[in-house]
Structure 1
Amino acid sequence: MLFVLWLILAIMELVPISYCRISTISKPCCVPSHFRCVMDVTGGYTDPTSGRMLFVDRKVRLYNDYSLNVTRTDTDVTLPSGATFVHSELTFYNQHISYKIDGDRCQTDHIAALMQDKCIPDDAVLLETSRIGQSGHDGINVSTWRYVTADNITILRAVTVDQCWPIYQTEQSVSSNGVLSSMEYMISNIELGEVPDLIATPNICTKT
């Protein structure tokens, strides 16, 4: 539990204290159907086997295609020897298949997970609408929402007011067997548009 409190405090510190609360009240919205971004992923979770807390700190390139319910992530990995490679995960949620690709190797996993909702649910609670940056044309209005998913994950999700572009997100959960997870995703470098090449199944992977 101390770990969760530490993460909450860390998240609060990451939100600039120069925010100015504004009076605009937003309605739940939907993120773009196709977008790429860079995510700084930090947090930790309890290993269900050993019971130890494992920590996560990595930068991920993400592509979301909500029309096809497909996501792709690319992560640069550096081995102790100094060698580097890109670890990619390509997930087809409608087909319940995920491919994990490392160089010329491909692992196929069958999954039951669903793609994260494109839209903030109607029962989400608006915590605040704030402004990042100085007043004027350079500022960005951001709404922060809180809601709980059907599988009991508490999500804090911040999006831009005008276009519903994601800014950051936190996810916290405790399973029935005591497995704790608390993750934070800081999002930057958003690009809109379809990129079919990114979700093409590599030749080294076969659908089964």
Structure 2
Amino acid sequence: MSFWASLALYTPLLLILYTEIHPIQSITRCCLPDNFRSHMDVTGGFLSNDGPRFVDSRVLLYFDYPTQRTRTETTVHLPNGLTFLHTEIADFGKHRVFKMDGANCRESHMNASIQERCISGDAQLMSSGYVGSPNNPLNIQTWRFKIPGTDIINYRMLTLTSPGECLPVLQAEHGFLDGAYSAMTYIISDVRINHAPRAVFDPPLNTCVRV
């Protein structure tokens, strides 16, 4: 079996492992916080014109739903041992994305939409249960849905903090985007509610170049 076929099979199996299935009617669809910060470990790969590309990185993630903006900070490791910080600010409301490497900043147009804050009505509940020790469990819901406008299947694992409110735990997706196959897993940790100040979403407009 090829690497890509293995990833496609592994992703849904990982998400339902050690969880107990319940009827979807017994589960309340929940929403993420309006504003939060977290760490995110990204693993997977995709096909490009140069062949398979693999991804293995740790990202500092900021979300602000009221202004429809996100920010990611990734430390990039070069083959020569040097590192630099790559930052992306996405303004989904204005369809702009800013990519910064050191003092360099590039602004470009984008058509993507911000990920939905709440579990949508067409999402399918795959499992509900827990991970970890029965004496100290982390209760988990796993939802499956298709990303609108794409062929990507997305799985979201969430833990309820109160009725109707939840925090992200893990997300995985696989499918074809622009004709190329992609399979990615995002492990989310250290979620801090209301720890994404609006200032972190402001790009350095005076130094950004439109491309």
User: Which bracket does the TM-score occupy, shorter chain normalised?
Assistant: 0.7 to 0.9
State the distance in 2 between where 1:110 and 1:22 align: 42
1:134 offset after TM fit, Å? Answer: 2.2
TM-score with structure 1 setting the length: 0.86
State the distance in 2 between where 1:107 and 1:192 align: 29
Match of 1:172 in 2: 174
1:183 offset after TM fit, Å? Answer: 0.9
1:26 offset after TM fit, Å? Answer: 1.7
User: 2:104–2:208: 8 Å Cα contact kept in structure 1?
Assistant: no
Which is further off, 194-203 or 8-17?
8-17
TM-score with structure 2 setting the length: 0.85
1:2 offset after TM fit, Å? Answer: 3.2
Which is further off, 197-206 or 61-70?
197-206
Cα deviation, 1:12-58, whole Å, max 9, x if unaligned, reads 675696x35275832222111111111111111111x34x1211111
| Secondary structure of 2:90's aligned partner | strand
* 1:53-68 correspondence to structure 2 within 5 Å: 53-68=52-67
Cα distance change, pair 92–195 in 1 and its aligned pair in 2 (3 A): same
Cα distance change, pair 114–202 in 1 and its aligned pair in 2 (3 A): same
- Structure 1 unaligned regions, length at least 5: none
Match of 2:114 in 1: 115
For 2:199, give the aligned amino acid.
D
Cα distance change, pair 60–144 in 1 and its aligned pair in 2 (3 A): same
Match of 1:79 in 2: 78
> Please, what is the CA RMSD of the aligned residues?
2.4
- Aligned pair 1:34/2:35, yes or no? yes
- Structure 2 unaligned regions, length at least 5: none
Cα deviation, 1:44-90, whole Å, max 9, x if unaligned, reads 1111x34x121111111110111100000000112233222211001
For 1:78, give the aligned amino acid.
H
For 1:46, give the aligned amino acid.
L
Within the candidate set 140, 143, 147, 1:149 is matched to 147
Match of 1:7 in 2: 7
Alignment coverage as a number of residue pairs: 203
